[in-house]
A = this chain, B = another copy of it.
Amino acid sequence: MQIHVINPNTTASMTDKIGACANRVAAEHTQIHVSQPDSGPVSIESHFDEAVSAVGVLEEIRRGEALGMDAYVIACFGDPGLLAARELTRAPVIGIAEAGFHLAALISTRFSVVTTLARTAIIAEHLLDQYGFRHNCRRVRATDLPVLELENPAGNAYQALLEECQRAREEDGIGAIVLGCGGMADLTERLTHDLQMPVIEGVSAAVKLAESLVSLGLGTSKHGDLAFPRPKPFSGRFADWGV
């Protein structure tokens, strides 16, 4: 089975990290293809970054379709372009935010999200509402770390993240923590050990959900509102996306 893991931003070190995380959990016969868009922001920390990155995600899906991918993972916590991506393929497409929420809901009654900048909390809140997990989430917490600070080996991102998770553990009445950024993928094991409670990271969660759907023969429904988009002319820089 071939799973295409898409890092929606253009930072290669994060793409590598995400790929390593995906490979670590992939099943024996699963092949992980990891990529990042040619075009877009180096990190996704706003609705604007997210809207631009969605186009990059869709381009990667189109490439994946040409290569016959069996499933896709969108490895940014805002799940940019998720429903649009689903329209482009019969394969399952999983966002790491939804993946984290789904698995957290299976092992705890309540969880908190710990993310990067405070301004991105609203994105998580909107997803919790849209996906139906509003009541499962006690609180969306921010460390106020910029995403790329997670890429800085000299930084103290881990410490800041750990402290916010500890506050969540003490104050929120939760059973699990969902990490709110794909760039935290490599910290899960260490956090789990230091917190002694389940810490869920969306990239690995999404890979397993994708594997599960594929092995069940389930893919994005083409009956109804996720059917392939009606072919139509596109103009300008997107001319090649139309008919």
- What is the interface of chain A, defined by CB distance below 8 A to chain B? 10, 25, 27-28, 37-43, 45-52, 54-55, 58, 81, 83-84, 86-88, 92, 94, 98, 102-103, 105-110, 118-122, 126, 129-136, 146, 169, 173-176, 192, 196-198, 200, 204-205, 208-209, 211-213, 215-221, 223-227, 229-230, 232-239, 241-242
B46 touching A174, Cβ below 8 Å: no
Contact pick for A216, options B10, B58, B205, B229, CB 8 Å: B205
B87 touching A46, Cβ below 8 Å: yes
A82 to B, closest residue via Cβ: B47
Contact pick for A48, options B103, B229, B237, CB 8 Å: B229
A51 to B, closest residue via Cβ: B84
List 6 A-B pairs, minimum CB-CB distance, nearest first. A39-B236, A132-B132, A175-B221, A208-B212, A51-B84, A47-B83
A92 touching B118, Cβ below 8 Å: no
A135 touching B129, Cβ below 8 Å: yes
- A86–B102 alpha-carbon span in the complex (Å): 16
Q: A42-B242, A48-B84, A52-B58 are in contact. List 5 more A-B contacts (CB 8 A).
A: A51-B58, A94-B106, A106-B213, A118-B173, A122-B225
- A104–B125 alpha-carbon span in the complex (Å): 18
Contact pick for A105, options B28, B39, B131, B134, CB 8 Å: B131
